[in-house]
A and B are shown apart, each in its own frame.
Chain A
């Protein structure tokens, strides 16, 4: 079944790139939802259930840390897998996001294969 994916990043060009890479990866994505920050993303998730969320960390209004924290505190959203996409690959940052509840982490730069592998892994883990 086609996936429903939410992309959260304050840069429209990066959201367009992620959409492009998902298409290049050959993944069957039915709908792309997009948000520029965590607050917009929560509003979208309140009415549109998705299979996975791809989120940046540094964003205005509500950053990725607070966004993941609120998802995990929500009965409705706590099971939705979150993959963080960030330039920051320091162990401190990865551990902090995992502790908040992110199940995947992809460092920029990345290509279609890496994105697909991470999404496959995360969706597989969550479906077990």
Chain B
């Protein structure tokens, strides 16, 4: 792993932790196997960003984690959460964590995030090839992946 990937990995951890604690009122227990969600049912969200640099960001979570994060974000009971709300909130998590990581990455001049697209694969496979980190939360795992391209 090169120096930039190590930095991105550390940023993914700190930014995910900050977003989860500030806006979802939950915390990371420990790092998890980045491949833990592969082949399983997940709630995912992905966005592309352009600027200097450009790239992609992806988040995926166990369905139970998506539900509990949505309930925590909106301040409602898990039984009241709708799939549309889960998609919106996972998209916001994607947006905030990506924006937070890019804002903390020193070499970034400017960027613009495109709207995040939600999906619910029954057998998740990562669609972004980048630096991936997974986290164990209460009740399941969540993973994030960032790909940056400074060449453009």
Contacts and interface: CB of A to CB of B under 8 A. Distances in A.
B6 interface: no
Classify the secondary structure of B's interface with A.
helix
A22 to B, nearest CB: 12
B103 interface: yes
Nearest to B113: A58
Interface in B71-118: 73-75, 85, 88-89, 91-92, 95-96, 98-100, 102-103, 108-113, 115
B19 interface: yes
B22 interface: yes
Contact of B74 (A17, A88, A111): A17
A87 B85 contact: no
Given A87-B99, A108-B23, A109-B22, A11 B88 contact: yes
Interface string A89-125: 1101100000000000001111100000000000000
Contact of A90 (B22, B70, B110): B110
Contacts of A58: 112-113, 115
Nearest to A10: B115
Contacts of B23: 17, 108-111
A13 B98 contact: no
B147 interface: no
Given A20-B74, A58-B112, A90-B111, A107 B92 contact: no
Contacts of A126: none
B120 interface: no
A87 B74 contact: no
A13 B83 CA distance: 12
A51 B67 CA distance: 35
5 contacts: A13-B89, A88-B102, A90-B111, A108-B95, A111-B23
Interface of B: 18-19, 22-23, 70, 73-75, 85, 88-89, 91-92, 95-96, 98-100, 102-103, 108-113, 115
Interface of A: 11-14, 16-17, 20, 58, 60, 86-90, 92-93, 107-111
